[in-house]
Amino acid sequence: MNENGDRSRFLSKLNAHFANFSYADGFVRTARDAELFDELSKFVDVVTSSDHVHLKRWFRHVATFPRNEKPTLKMTWQEGGDVPLSEYLLAHIDSNGSFESIDFAEDQSIDHQKVIGAIKSLLTHEGLINSEDYVVTRISLTDEGSALSENGSHEYLVYAAIPTDGLEQPALMKQPFAKVGFGKAMKNGWIEKKGNVIMRKAADVKDTVRDDLLAIKSGRFEDVNPASKTDLQKRKLIAEAKIKGVKVSKGPGFTMQLEKPEVELTAEMLQDKSWATKNFKAYNFNALGQSLSGGHLHPLMKVRSEFREIFLQMGFTEMDTSRYVESSFWNFDALFQPQQHPARDAHDTFFIKTPEVSQEFPPEYLEKVKKVHSEGGHGSIGYRYDWSIDEAKKNVMRTHTTAVSARQLYKLANDGFKPSKFFSIDRVFRNETLDATHLAEFHQIEGVIAERNLSLAHAMGLFKSFFSKMGLDELRFKSAYNPYTEPSMEIFANVPTGDVAAHGAAGRCQRCRLRAVFGKVLLYSRRFLYKYDYFRPTMIKYGIDNIRELFGPKVDLEMVYKNPMCRLDKD
């Protein structure tokens, strides 16, 4: 409309349009009227001095209305029309005082969820409206109920299928409605059985089931007695649904002039002083705020930190566990596991393809290990077989952290023995069948103590102290067989109910294996060694049944975000 020719044609079209414009009482300027009026006001002199009589009349008439118009309240709201649903709701509240969303949606034939969405948008304006949730129960016909309302109940169809001279039962039972309807028709006294023939017993019957279904379908719920309603529910012919609605009324700050409140005070507002006329959204000091999107500690890391703290409190020193790949010498041979043992098979161990073997070993210690395997020593007779250096060179993914302990004890012996306590917590790998409680890799807790004149009583006392720091005071010690250590024990502890989380059990027994070595195989001193898997304590602590939900690609990150901090000595 910048060019005079375009403007003239535009005004002519408007003049023709307003020739039939209605000025009847009750006219309210709509949003579209306001937009057009604003556009024409840009060249008001042209409009008022033109020969377009109908346009000038409309322009003068619309100018008499307040600037902040409200939507024209039609009988029904039209989606995609001039008036947004939220504004239509305001006009409805202004006219009626209040409304209930479910009834409003049904009366206006609007999707109820759209009405709820519009109400929520109005609630963002503080004090504009009041809202109150409510629930209504609506009864509707199921698919089977709808079919019976059209065709009749099963029992009525059975009655209608029997001619006056009767019908043989096998022929009747072939009908699709007979399986349900036969027994009910007999119970109602509509039919009777004479030999193998089914006869009509009642001269005439009324299909009350269909009548009740039709009443419910048409909304006449009061016509259905409670007993019939209960029977229809048992037969799954009707279904009850609870619908949540919202009752809306005028709020203390109700107005037809919607203005979106400002949420931030900007530098521009301060410079031009427009903040003085702005409506700012009130602060909600009780809001939790936006959750940080930073990293979260995995439950295994939390439990690991708790175990590590316990060891450090007891005076242990942490060992270096950075070697995931270990030679068979340190992983098996230095621990005096025979080379033909099935645990060293590919079915239980992951062997490394590249590099396939290790080359560097302490030669003097290697010869001692070879001699003990082949001939024995320090009172033992050994395994009496030809020990192979080639087998000892093979690289594997370490199957236990005891290889770390073997290296540490060897270093301790070479540096000059002194009483020591070491621990490690790290990952090990085994070629096992995967299931709900076993993975091919898991974490292992290991501790080793080297001291002179140690006894089994020392080990038991240590474990009582260790487990008491976890909140486990009820321990049971059980002798166990282990082919590489003597004596060996297993420890059982009852986990308190509070630590079982959602399992609901009265308590759970957690096992720990204690391996004590007394002799001069690795050191000219005594030591004892213990191992503990902390996957299972973590699963118990956090109420997880399947290990794949704790570790691996199936872990739910939401679980990682929301799990609480770990305190092993607390419920």
Q: pLDDT tens, 363-382? A: 999 999 999 999 988 888 88
pTM: 0.48
User: With 80 as the cut, is the pLDDT of residue 483 above it?
Assistant: no
**pLDDT of the residue at 32:** 66
What is the distance between the alpha carbons of residues 232 and 137, in angstroms, rounded to a whole number? Answer: 16
Q: How many CB atoms lie within 10 A of CB 334?
A: 27
* Bridge-based pairing state of the strands 441-451 and 526-533: antiparallel
Tell me the average pLDDT across 414-429: 91
- The CA distance from 158 to 149, in Å, is 15
What's residue 316's pLDDT? 94
The radius of gyration of the chain's CA atoms, rounded to the nearest angstrom, is 43
Provide the pLDDT confidence category of residue 504 given band limits of 50, 70 and 90: very low
For residue 528, what pLDDT is reported?
58
**Looking at 69-73, 142-146, 346-350, 560-564, which range is the least confident one?**
69-73
Report the alpha-carbon distance of residue 82 to residue 71 in Å, rounded: 8
Average pLDDT over residues 220-246: 88
Confidence bin at 164 (pLDDT 50/70/90): confident
Question: What number does CATH give the domain 297-322+400-571?
Answer: 3.30.930.10
**Parts of the chain belonging to CATH 3.30.930.10:** 297-322+400-571
